[in-house]
Structure 1
Amino acid sequence: MRKLAERTKVIGISRIEESLRILEQKPEIISLGAGEPDFPAPKKVIAAAKKFLDKGYTHYSPLQGKIELLEALTKKLKKENKIDVTKDEIIITVGSKEAIFLACATLIDPGDEIIVPDPGYIAYKPIVEFLGGKAIPLQLKEEDNFEIHPERLKEIINRKTKLLIINTPSNPTGTVLSRKVLEEIADIIVENDIYALVDEAYEKLVYDGAKHISLASLNGMKDYVITTQTFSKTFAMCGFRVGYAVAPSNIIKEMKEYKICTTLSPSPFSQLAAVEALKSKKHVEYMRREYDRRRKLILKRLKAIPDMHCQKPKGAFYVFPNISKFGMNSEQFTQFLLDRAKVIVIPGTEFGKYGEGFVRLSYATAYEKIDEAMDRIENVLTKQKI
C-alpha cells in the first residue's frame, strides 16, 4: 500500500480549524475561538491595493521583498521597535507564520532541542518537529502571570539547545513580557550562546499602560535574535498575507534560499498596500481601544461566574481562564459549552500539555456578540446543573 511521509503525522487538524467548519454548518453558534481581527482592513489600504492592481502589479516580486516596503520597515523598526537594521536584515514573507518556518528551517538540524512556550502558539511545536528538531516545553504558570520564569528556563537548557521561541504579547495568554524579564532572558541567551526567535504578531495590541519591548532592541542582542512581525493582527490584513522577519544578514540570506523552494514571494500589490498600512496609526489605535473595551467586558463577565478564575491579559485579544474547578478537563469543558451554550471556545491543550485546565476565549468579535456569548456561558455554568 502506498504511504505518505511520516513527517505528515506531526501536523494534525487543530480545534480552531474544526471550529470554522462547525460555524459554517450551524449559524446559531457564537464563536469566541477566532484568532483574527473582525475589523476590515483600513480603507486607505484597500484603496492602495486596488490602485496597484489596476497599475498591473500582478507579477512576481523580488525574493526578499519590494524595496518600497523594505525601506519603510527599516524606518518603522528603528522608530517604533528601537531595532536599527538595514534592508539586508529584513525579508518579507507570506504572513509571519512563513517567517517563523523559514527561520526554523535555517537554524534547526535534526536532533536539535528547541524550547517552546507552553501554553504557546499552536504552530511552534509542529514546525520544530517537522524539521526534525525536538520541541522542549517551557512551562508558563498562571501564578507567574504566564511570564517566562528565568530559573525554569535555565533548568531545561543544555548543550543540545539551539533556539528559544518567545511570543510577546502572547497567544493564548495575552501576557506581555516586562523589560526586567526580557533582560534576564537576554543574559541567559548570551551565556548559553543560543538563538531566540521572537514572535511579535500582536506588538501594537497592549493595554493598561503595558509597553511592548522587542528583545532585539536590548543592548548586544541583535545578533542573537530573529524577530517576526505581521500586518495581519495590527492592521486587520490577514488576507493580504504579509509578514516579515528581522535577523542578522547571514540568516536572512539563508532564509531567502529556502524561500525559493516555498512561496517565492508575497503578492506585490499586498506589499505596496502594506506600505500604506504603516501610515494608518489612527486606525490601529481605534481598533486597540475597541479591543480594550471588549477585554474589560469579557473579564467582568468571567469574574461574575463562580469558580472561574482569569488572569488579566495585557496584550493580544485573548483571555485564558482557569476552568479546573468545574470538574471537566479542557476538552470536555469546550464540548460542554458547544453542546449546551452553543458557544465555541478553544481548549487550552491546543496550546500545549500545560494548557490543561484552561480554555482560550477571543474577544476579536463584536461587543454585542461577546455579551450574548457570555450570557449563554454564565447561564449553563451557574443556572443549569453541570
Structure 2
Amino acid sequence: MQPTPKTLNRSTLMFPLALVLFEFAVYMGNDLIQPAMLAITQEFSVSATWAPSSMSFYLLGGASVAWLLGPLSDRLGRRRVLLAGVLFFALCCLLILLTQNIQQFLAMRFLQGIGLTVISAVGYAAIQESFAERDAIKVMALMANISLLAPLLGPVLGAFLIDYVSWHWGFVAIAMLAGLSWFGLNSQMPRQQQSVSRQPFIYLLDDFKRVYRNPQFLGLSLALPLVNMPLMLWIALSPVMLVEELKLSSFAYGLSQFPVFMGLIVGNMLLIRIIDRFALGRTIFIGVPIMLGGAFCLLAAVFLPHYALALLLIGMTLISFGEGICFSVMYRFALMSSDVSKGTVAAAVSMLLMLSFFVVIEAVRWLYTQVHLIAFSGSCLLLLGLWFTFPRKILKSLMQQRQQSGSF
C-alpha cells in the first residue's frame, strides 16, 4: 500500500527534524574534522597532501554500500535500516579514537562514510515518500538549512580543537549527536511504508540496470554531482588553499567559511519562499548560471593573486547560493525519474554521487599538487560547464513534458 503523502505542518516536521539531527552529525563528521586534518597528518607524521583523502574516503564509504542499503530498506523497511545505520555510524566514530596511523584512520573514515548512504539512500527516500511533491522539496530545503550549521560551525570548532584540545573529542561529540538522533528517530519515524514485492536479492542487478539504462534518470542524476562538486572540492581543499597557501590562521579559516555557507542557506530559504510561484524546475535554470558566474570569479583569482582570497570567497558564495535554489529540486526530479522502488533509485543516485565525489576529489587533489589554485578553479568551471550539455537537455525535455501534462 502506498503511504498517503503528508502535508507540511508542525506535527509532521518531527520526523525530518530527528533525521536532520543525524544528517548534522554525519556532516560534522566531515566539516568538524576536515579543518583538523593538518594537525592529524602531523600527528601521524605524513604529508599535508593526505588531508583531502579524509573526505574522499568518507565519500567512498558512502558509495560502497548504497547498492545494498537502499534495496534492503525496500524489503525490511526504511525505519529498521535507518536505526541500525545510525548506531553503526556512532560506533565507528568511537572506534576511530583507537587508530595508530593514517591508514587505519582512513579505513575508519571509510566505514564512517556509510552514514552518508544511510541518509541519502534510506532517509531521503523516506522523506520523499512521506510528503507531497512540493512539500517534500520544502522539507529537503529546510533540512539542508539546518544541516548547514555543520559547515558553518565545523571549521570554527575544528580550529578550536586544534588550538585547545584534541581532534579525538570531535568524534566523541559526533557520536553523542548520532545517539540523540537515534532516540528521536525511534520515537518519531513513521512505521508505515510503501509495500514492495520481496523479490530475492538476485534481482537487484536487474533493478539497477533498469535505473541506469533510463536516459532521463542519467541526465537528471548526472546533474547532481556537476552542481554539488564545486562546494565539495572547496570543503576538501580549502584548508590547504587558505591555511597552507594563503597563510590564514585556523580561526580566520573558520570565519572565511561563513559567507560561503550563508550563501547556501539564503539560497535554500529563497527556494522555500518562491517554489510555489514558479513551474517546478524553473529555479534550476536561474541557479546554475549564477554558479557559472561564481566559477569565473574563482578563475579570476588565479590571475589576480593579490585579490585571490576575496575572489575565492565571492565566487564560492555565488556558487553556493545558486546551488541552494536548485539542488533540492534536482534531487526530487532524479529520484522520481524511474518507476523502480524508491530505495533502489535513491541508492543508484547515492552511488553515482559518492563515486563521482571520490574520483574527482582525488583527481583534483593530485592536480592541486602540480598546478595549485588553477586546478581547483578550472575544475569548478569545467564541471558547471558540463551541466549545459546533456543534463540541461534532459531537464528541458522533462519541463516540456510536465507542462504538457499540466504538472507545474
Do Structure 1 and Structure 2 share a fold, with TM-score over 0.5? no
More strand by proportion, 1 or 2?
Answer: 1
* TM-score normalised by L of structure 1: 0.28
* TM-score normalised by L of structure 2: 0.27
